[in-house]
Amino acid sequence: MRPSRPMIRLLAVGLLAVAVVGTSGCKWFRKGSELYAASPENRPLEVPPDLDRPDTSGAMQLPETGTGTVTRSTMPAAGAAQPNGFAVAGEVDAVFARVGEVLAATEGLTVVNRAQLLGTYDVDYGDAKFLVRVTRTDTGAYVSAVDPRGLPAAGEPPQRLIAALRTALAGG
């Protein structure tokens, strides 16, 4: 038995309908991704794995320094003469108070600020602005003149004031 002509046409139309539905936008046959449904401006940025973290290869390298640091054990002994500082025997708080008294009695000196917790007096003396710092040592206290960066204060006014403090604190 041979299929009839209408039957072949019906089979051809059915196959054609399945092919059209299969290749069209039918949801059953389409695979999609939500990432690419948005416009290109809204898609997530793809970053290669080695570029998503900062470079930390040199993070723990310390710079080379040629200067030494002053520690309590390397500070001069009591009474040793230094141009910008000297050591004093006694408690730090008592030395700080005595330094404050001498600074208040010094003519031409203005104490701008004092910080007992830091052990510093911010002073204007002559034409210079610097700090007078009182630091704890193993044997007592160390009184020095430093600039705001913590370096020894340069110039004649700081040296003159340190000499006056040395003289006043040696007697008391």
pLDDT tens string for the chain (172 positions)?
677 888 888 888 998 888 887 777 656 555 666 666 667 777 677 777 777 777 777 676 666 665 444 444 444 444 445 668 899 998 999 999 999 999 999 999 999 999 988 899 999 998 889 999 999 988 899 999 998 888 888 889 999 999 999 999 886 5
27 & 87 share domain: no
Distance from C-alpha of 3 to C-alpha of 1, rounded to nearest angstrom: 7
Residue type present at position 53: R
Q: Which residues contact 114 (CB under 8 A, 6 or more apart)?
A: 100, 120, 121, 122
Angle at 113 between CA 79 and CA 107, to 5 degrees: 65
Report the pLDDT value the prediction gives residue 45, as an integer from 0 to 100.
73
Whether 50 maps to a domain, the answer reads: no
Q: Kindly report the number of other CB atoms within 10 A of residue 144's CB atom.
A: 23
What DSSP state is assigned to residue 140?
A: S
Residue 144 and residue 94 share a domain? yes
Domain containing residue 134: 75-170
Does the predicted TM-score (pTM) go above 0.85?
no
Amino acid at 12: A
Q: Indicate which CATH number applies to the domain containing 151.
A: 3.30.310.170
